[in-house]
Chains A and B, each alone.
Chain A
Amino acid sequence: MRAKAFLTTATSALLLISLSISPSNAAQKSQVVKGQFGESISAQARDITVDKNGQAQIVITGKGFDETVGIYLAYCLMPKSGAAPTPCGGGVNKSGIGDASFWISSNAPPYAANLAEPFRAGGRFTKSVGVSEKIGKIDCRKSKCALTVRSDHLREGDRSRDLFIPVTFKKRK
């Protein structure tokens, strides 16, 4: 009985650690997508509740990425099979520093030293990505939008690293 109670506490502890990284839209099971090189991304991206501006933040974590290959993490329209994800966007970006896309690279060219963020050890990253009901004129309630990972422009055309987590929105009340 005591062991069962302890196990329940242990499970709760793990859940707490998991939930603490997701500020909102958290009470769901994470979607995990695995890539062909052992990398994976996870996020709670189903039934997203948006704010009055039609926006929300989704925490996405990645692990096992090849740290010698830079990636873009972005919120985009789901592309056709074999095509690059585009257009991408999400949220108003008045300051020029958007939270809908990130460049993660441990070996960015010298000109991009302050633009890209390096992977953490183990090819990991955690980012809060801004998503919205609309990407430009595209309505993501009607079209399929997704959190996407792709190789950066140094491997333009390399589709082998593409990963997608579809995002769906809760019905407005």
Chain B
Amino acid sequence: MKKMITLISVLALAIPVFTAPRASAETFVFQSGPLTNLDPAGATVNGGFTKFTTKGGMYMQQCIAPVAGARPATCSDELQLWISTKGEVGSVSATGPIAFKVSSTITGRGVAVDCTKTSCGIFFRLDRSATADTSEDLFLPITFREGAAAPSLPADVVTVTLNAKPLTRNVPMALAYRQSAKIVATAQSGLPVMLTSLTPECSYANGTLTALKGAGQCALAHRTAGNDKFAASSANYPFILEPGTQKVERATKELKKGKPKAMPAETNFGETISYRSLSKNCRVELNLIEAQKRGICTIVATAPAKEGMWLALKQELRIRVS
């Protein structure tokens, strides 16, 4: 309630109030101060959502005007906000005031664009939870008055890879629970790339991204500070989480006739393993295996699935008996 009063106060001060047109199918209402005749040296559009979509979070980005019926192809790497009602790290509250910085020059996808000569605007879209859903897409044109533009710096080209596969900003990639995921990030500028997990469903530390759930989504973000030669950059890399794969770790591979050996009692995720022998030359009791004859002893290890976390285990193990 307090936030709403603050928002209304902010909007009241931001006169004249601009209200996003409702011609398309979007369900949100964004009100702000003027979007025309903005300062080319840098400006902030102050506003807020008086009604927010129930479909998920949203992104706001400064982009070049799209061709009719399409989404903008070039958007600023830096001038963007993630709006959410859930309070995730890195997001801005949908119920509070929104201060969106715009610039007469934007850099995106490695190119710099002069928004005093090219039509630019603020583009609204649903966030990574619904990347293909265009029902909330809205492009609000902005214009700048004549004057000196902010100095334009070339965009920094940042490459982020997961297990050597390049990640694409705002495009989800699959990631399994506890999958080994080595992250490497490099910037053309040579500046350090700061990586953070934006959601609790994943953790990031020491170059490793770890999915802590086997369902839902998470996101990794990168940021570079910029310097006198390169613009600052930031991006968001979403992941669709999938169930993990259970394994029998450190299982014995050799057995001596008549000498029982203990097999692991739990999977790599802590589920209790059940063993069953498929061979006549060996038998299993609980997690203990014993062979009576030389040859190959084949046993099956099974463990239950856990919904939203990992798949059931069914693994055949071949053990040499000497």
Contact = CB atoms under 8 A, between A and B. Distances in A.
A79 interface: no
A111 interface: no
Nearest to B194: A110
Residue picked from A9, A17, A107, A113, most chain B C-beta under 10 Å: A107
Residue picked from B213, B244, B269, most chain A C-beta under 10 Å: B269
Contacts of B262: 13-14, 17
Contact of A68 (B212, B265, B290): B212
A17 B270 contact: no
Interface of A: 3, 6-7, 9-11, 13-14, 17, 38, 63-64, 67-69, 106-107, 110, 113, 118-124
A6 B285 CA distance: 8
B190 interface: no
A155 to B, nearest CB: 11
A19 B267 CA distance: 19
B171 to A, nearest CB: 24
B26 interface: no
Interface residues of B, number: 26
Nearest to A13: B262
B225 interface: no
A124 B310 CA distance: 15
A9 B289 CA distance: 11
A14 B263 CA distance: 10
A10 B260 contact: yes
29 contacts: A3-B285, A6-B260, A6-B283, A6-B288, A7-B285, A7-B286, A10-B260, A10-B287, A10-B288, A13-B262, A13-B287, A14-B286, A17-B265, A64-B270, A67-B212, A68-B200, A68-B213, A106-B203, A107-B197, A107-B212, A110-B196, A113-B205, A118-B210, A119-B212, A120-B270, A121-B178, A121-B244, A122-B267, A122-B268
Contact of B203 (A11, A118, A122, A123): A118
B137 interface: no
Contacts of B205: 113, 118
B270 A63 contact: yes
Contacts of B203: 106-107, 118
B201 interface: yes
A17 B267 CA distance: 15
A64 B265 CA distance: 16
A106 B290 CA distance: 39
Closest 7 CB pairs of A and B: A122-B270, A122-B269, A10-B288, A67-B212, A68-B200, A10-B285, A10-B286
Given A13-B287, A67-B212, A68-B213, A107 B200 contact: yes
A14 B273 CA distance: 13
Interface in B201-229: 201, 203, 205, 210, 212-213
A121 to B, nearest CB: 5
Interface string B257-288: 00010100101111100000000000101111
A120 B244 CA distance: 14
Given A6-B290, A10-B286, A106-B212, A68 B270 contact: no
A119 B212 CA distance: 9
Contacts of B270: 63-64, 120-124
Nearest to B201: A68
A10 to B, nearest CB: 4
